[in-house]
Structure 1
C-alpha cells in the first residue's frame, strides 16, 4: 500500500457531505452512526433500574449493618472520623488522641458528617462508601452510554456492582472508591470540555466567519465541564493526596500529545480553573501545615505528608516501614481475581487491541528515513529501563513486563515513521475511540505506577472503572457482530467455557467440603479453627485468607452452600443463553452469578467477625460496667500496636492506653510535645499491674505468649475469642 493511501485511510472517521452546510464542507458522521448502532438493543430503562438497584441493595446497602468494624485500617480510620465529629477539628486527624497525619481529609469529613446524622455505628462509617459505589456505577453508565450506547452502559454498571475487587475493597473504610469516582468524573469532564462538538445539537448557526457552530445556549452549557473537572480533581487530591495529580495530568498530557491537540488545553480554562482548584484544595493543606509543627526530628506536617507519605512511600523508604510490596507476578496476576468474573472477557479487549496494533504497524512499505529509529534511541530506552530497575529494585517479572510494554508502545511511532506517516495514529479518531484512548492511558499509568511503588492489593482500584468499561464495550461489539465475527465468538466462548469449568470445579470442591463436614459441630468462633501463617507478616490486606483450614469449613456451611449453588448453575445457564443468542440475558446471568457468590462471601465475612473485629470485647466491657461487676473508673489498655484492637476505642468511645504501642501509625504523631501520655512500656505495665484503678488489658493472639511471660498468674481472663483475650488484674466486684 502506498504511503499516501495509508495517510488518507489511517483515520477511522468516515466523511460525508452535509446538506446543511452552505459551503458543502465534509463533516465526520461515524461517531453518530456508531452510537446509533450501539444504542440499539439495550435493555429497557425500567429493567436496568430494577437490576442495578437490586444489585446495590443486596451487595452494598444490606452489608452496612454487619459485620462490625474490623480491626486495623477499618476501625483506625473510623476513630479518626469520630474524633473529627466529637471535637469539631476538621484539620488535624487524630487516632486515640494522637496526630494521624498520613491521610487526606475528605473521606473523614464525609464519615464525620454521617456520624452527626446516624450516630457512631458501623452503618454510618460505611454508608459514604456504599453511596460512592452507586455513584461510580452511575458514572460508568453515563460515560459508556454516551460513548458506546445503552447496552455497554448497562453492562458497565452491572460489572461495577458485581466485580470481586469492588466488593472486597469496600468492606473496609479506605478512600479508593471515592478516589476512583472523583478521578473518573474529572476525566469525563475533561473529555467533554476538550471535545464539546461531540455533544453538539443538530441545529446549528453560523458565526461571523461563516463557520457552523451550535447555538449559543449550548456553548454556555459546556462551560460547566472545565470547572467540574478542576473541582473534581481538587476533591480527589483531598481524598488521596498528590497521586491524584500524577494520574490525571499524566493521562491528560499523554492523551493530548497522541491526539496532536495541545492547543485545546485552553478549553480547560487553565487560569481560572487552577484558581478554583487551589481555592478547594489549598486551605486544608496550609492549615494542617501551620497547626502541626515540631514533630520527629523537627519535622512537621509538610515533611511527613508530602515527602514521607508520597516520595518515600513510592521509593519504599517510608517511615515507618509497615508496608509490603507484592511480588511482580502476583501483582499482575491478581487482577484476574479482583476483576472476576469480567476478567474472563479481557481477551476480547486484548484481541481488539492486537488488531489495532497490527493495523497501525503493518503494510507500510514506503520507507522514509527517520531519526526516530536510531540505535541511540534503542540504547537510551534500555539504559532507562535498567536505571529504573536499579533505583526502584524491581523484581525481574515486573521489569520484563515494563520492557515489553515499552517496546510495544514505541513500535507504533517507529514503524509509522519508517512509512513516512505522522508518528501518532490518533489525530483523526472519533468520539468512542477517544474514550478508549483516554481510559487506556489512564489504566496503563495506574498499573505501571504501582508496579514500581510499594503497593497494597487495592491500590489499583481506580483502574477498575476504565478496564470494566472498555471490556464491556468489547463484549457489546462482539455480541452485535456475533454472526460474522469469528474472533469475537471464539473469545466469548472461551470466557463462558472458562467460567463453566471453574464453576464446576468450585462447586465440586465446596460440595466435598460440605459432605465431609456434615457431622462436625458448628463452632461460632471460627478464629479458634484457623491456622496462623502470617503470610506477608499480615501487612497485605488479604493475608488472613491463607489462614483457612479444613476444620473451619463447618462454620461456613451456609455461604459454601450459596456459593456452590451459584457456580453449579449460573455459568451453565449463561452459556446456554449465549448459545441461543440471547446476549443481554447471558451477560446479565454472569453478573447475577457473581452477585450471589459475593453475597455468600459477605455471609462468610460476618462469620469471621469474631476474629477480624474486637467489637465483642468492647461490648463485654460495657456489660461489666453496666452490671456493676467492674467500676466505671478503670484503665483500658491495648498490648502492642493499636491496629491489633482499634475497634475497641471506637466502640468504647474513649481513649485507651497502649503498651509497647509507639509504632506504625502512632509513631510520628507520638513525637509531638503535646501528645497525650497514653504510651506505656511492658515494664510500666508489670509495675502498675494490680495497683490503682482496675486494669483491663486487651491482648492480641500475636502477643499472648509475651503477656503470659510478663504477668504470669497475675492475670484473670474475662473473655477469650479467636485467640484474643481480655484480662484484668483483680477479681470482679460483686
Structure 2
C-alpha cells in the first residue's frame, strides 16, 4: 500500500503550480489594450487624484463598474508601482484564494482527497487561467460569492452567528465587486436550497435582519456617495439610472446603451464550458456513474445540493442575458467541486480510464498538429511583430473576448516556436504518464496530479505565446515612443483616433489624459455628457483643421482606422512608427 502524501506536501504542490501559472505570469506582458488597461486607468486615477468614489478613465466618468477591484489594484499600485504586475497580482492572489476555499470547503464536506482534487482542478482549469490574463472583476466575484455560500452553509449547520455575519460581509463585498447580480445569485441559491430541503424555518440562522443592516452598512455608502456626486448626465440621468437601470436591467435584456456587447449562440454558450473546464471536463462521464457513495455528513449532502442549485442558476441566468465568455466564471468552483466529489466517491474506474485515454489521444493529436506547424514554418523567419502576420476576420465584430483567436494564420506560427515546442512535448508525454499511472495503480490522485502538472506546463507555454502577441494586443511601445518625443518637444499634444479601447494602454503608461478623435463612444459615451467633462473629444473635421497648426500633434491610429485617417489627413502626415498595423503619426518633421 503506497504511503499517503502529507497535507503539507500537497499544499506545497498547489502553491508551486499556482506560482508557475499565475504569479510568474503577472509580470508580463505589459497591460493590454481594451479592458485590461482601461480598468487599470480607473485604479491609476484613484491613486493620482484621491477620488475613491467616482471611477474615471482618461479623465471621463466611468460609472458602469463597482469599485472594490479598483480600490484593491490602486493599493497594489501604491505598493508595487504603476505597472502590469501591480494590476495583475490581485488577480493571481484571488485565484489562490479560490483554490484554498475549494480545499477547505471540500475537506469539511467530503475528505482530504476530494479537497486536494477540487483545489487542483480550480488551479488548472482552462477558463480560470484564460479569464485572469486581463484585469476583470469576475474571479473576485467568484471568490466572494463562493465564500458567502460556504459561510451560509456553516451558519445553517451549526447556528453560528460568526458564519452568518461572514455570509453578509462577503455578500456586501461581492456587491461592491460586480453590483446587484451578486445578490441575485446568492439569494436565489440560498432560497432554492431552503425550499428544496424544506428548511425555510432555518432562515433565522442567517440573521436576516441584523445581517442585512451589516451588508447595507458596508455596501450602501459608496452607492449613495456615487449617486450624490454624479448627477446631470445625458437626459438628466445620473449614476443611479446609469448604474442600476442601464447596467443591470437593460444589460440583462440586451438593451443597454451603448449596445456594444454581443451574445454567444446558445449551442456555443453551453459547449464552450467543456473548453473552460478542460481538461477536467473529460471526466464528466465518470461523474455520472450509477454507483456513488453518498457523503457521510449532512454538511456534505447539503454542499452537493447547494452547489448544484447555485451553478445551475448562474448558467441559466447568463444563457438568457447578454453575455461574455467569462461571465459564468462564478460557477466554475461549484462545478469543479461537484465533479471532484463524484470522482472520489464513485466506483467508475472504466470511465476514468476512458477520460485519461481521451486525454492521451487528444494530447497526441495536439502534439502532432504542433509538430506539423513547426515543420511547415521551419524555414520562415522569426517575426517579433506577430500582429503583422495575423488576419483581420472580426469574428463577433470583436465584441466577444475570444474573437482574436480566429485571426491566427500560418505565417504567425513562426513567432510561436518556443511555446509550441513546450506544448508539443508536454502533450506528447504528460497525458500518457497519467494514463500509465492509473492503469498500474488505480489511484486517482497521482494520475490527476500528473494531469494538473501537464496542464500547468501548457499554461506556461500559453503565457509565453501571449507575451509574443503583446505588440498586437498592447500599445505600450507607442507610449514609450510618445514619451521620448514629448521629452524633446514638451508642447507636443497626443491624441488617439477612435474609441479609447483601441489604445487604452497609452494613457495608462503616459500617466496623463489624451485627446480622443471620433472617440465619444462605448464606455466613454455617458461620462462625456456631464458638464464638467474635460474637453478631450474632437470630431475628425476639428482635428484635421488643427493638424499642422500650433503645437506638434502626435496621433495614434489603430489598424481598424488607418484607412479612414489616411483619407482624412492625406499626405500631411509623417509616420513615426508602426507595429501590428497600428501607427503613430505626426504633423511635421521630427527633430
TM-score (norm 1): 0.79
Structure-2 separation of matches of 1:445 and 1:463: 9
- 1:692 paired to 2:550: yes
- Provide the secondary structure at the position in 2 that maps to 1:533: coil
Structure-2 separation of matches of 1:89 and 1:135: 28
User: Displacement, 1:154?
Assistant: 0.8
- Provide the secondary structure at the position in 1 that maps to 2:52: coil
- Provide the secondary structure at the position in 1 that maps to 2:556: strand
- Provide the secondary structure at the position in 2 that maps to 1:334: helix
Task: Return the index of the structure with the highest Cα Rg.
Answer: 1
Q: 1:450 to 1:159 in 2, by over 3 A?
A: same
User: Displacement, 1:563?
Assistant: 0.6
- Provide the secondary structure at the position in 2 that maps to 1:698: strand
Structure-1 separation of matches of 2:24 and 2:371: 27
Structure-2 separation of matches of 1:347 and 1:699: 50
- Provide the secondary structure at the position in 2 that maps to 1:636: strand
Query: Given the alignment, which residue of 41, 46, 60 partners 2:22?
Result: 60
- Provide the secondary structure at the position in 1 that maps to 2:550: coil
Corresponding residue for residue 87 of structure 2: 125
Q: RMSD of the TM alignment (CA)?
A: 1.6
Structure-2 separation of matches of 1:41 and 1:247: 42
Corresponding residue for residue 561 of structure 2: 703
Is this contact kept in 1: 2:518–2:540, CA < 8 A?
A: yes
List aligned pairs for 1:463-478, cutoff 5 A. 463-478=331-346
Corresponding residue for residue 355 of structure 2: 495
Corresponding residue for residue 49 of structure 1: 11
Corresponding residue for residue 511 of structure 2: 653
Aligned length: 589
User: Displacement, 1:584?
Assistant: 1.9
- 1:83 paired to 2:21: no
Is this contact kept in 1: 2:66–2:178, CA < 8 A?
A: yes
Corresponding residue for residue 604 of structure 1: 465
Structure-2 separation of matches of 1:42 and 1:453: 47
- 1:460 paired to 2:328: yes
Is this contact kept in 1: 2:292–2:345, CA < 8 A?
A: no
Corresponding residue for residue 501 of structure 2: 643
Query: Given the alignment, which residue of 402, 409, 418 partners 1:558?
Result: 418
Query: Given the alignment, which residue of 155, 160, 172 partners 1:234?
Result: 172
- Provide the secondary structure at the position in 2 that maps to 1:447: helix
Structure-1 separation of matches of 2:428 and 2:297: 44
- Provide the secondary structure at the position in 2 that maps to 1:726: strand
Corresponding residue for residue 485 of structure 2: 624
Query: Given the alignment, which residue of 439, 443, 460 partners 2:311?
Result: 443
Corresponding residue for residue 215 of structure 1: none
- 1:100 paired to 2:38: no
Is this contact kept in 2: 1:231–1:280, CA < 8 A?
A: yes
Corresponding residue for residue 6 of structure 1: none
Structure-2 separation of matches of 1:304 and 1:349: 44
User: Displacement, 1:42?
Assistant: 6.1
Structure-2 separation of matches of 1:261 and 1:446: 22
Structure-2 separation of matches of 1:248 and 1:532: 41
User: Displacement, 1:429?
Assistant: 8.1
Query: Given the alignment, which residue of 431, 434, 437 partners 1:577?
Result: 437
- 1:634 paired to 2:502: no
Structure-2 separation of matches of 1:187 and 1:265: 14
User: Displacement, 1:474?
Assistant: 1.5
Corresponding residue for residue 374 of structure 1: none
List aligned pairs for 1:110-509, cutoff 5 A. 110-196=72-158, 222-351=160-289, 430-478=298-346, 485=347, 488-509=348-369
When structure 1 is superposed on structure 2, of 145-154 and 428-437 the one drifting more is 428-437
Query: Given the alignment, which residue of 591, 614, 621 partners 2:452?
Result: 591
- Provide the secondary structure at the position in 1 that maps to 2:493: strand
Is this contact kept in 1: 2:486–2:492, CA < 8 A?
A: no
**1:208-238 superposed Cα distances (whole Å, 9 cap, x missing partner):** xxxxxxxxxxx7xx32101100000000000
Unaligned runs of 5+ in 1: 1-39, 197-218, 360-425, 479-484
Is this contact kept in 1: 2:434–2:451, CA < 8 A?
A: yes
User: Displacement, 1:490?
Assistant: 2.3
Structure-2 separation of matches of 1:90 and 1:337: 38
- Provide the secondary structure at the position in 1 that maps to 2:324: coil
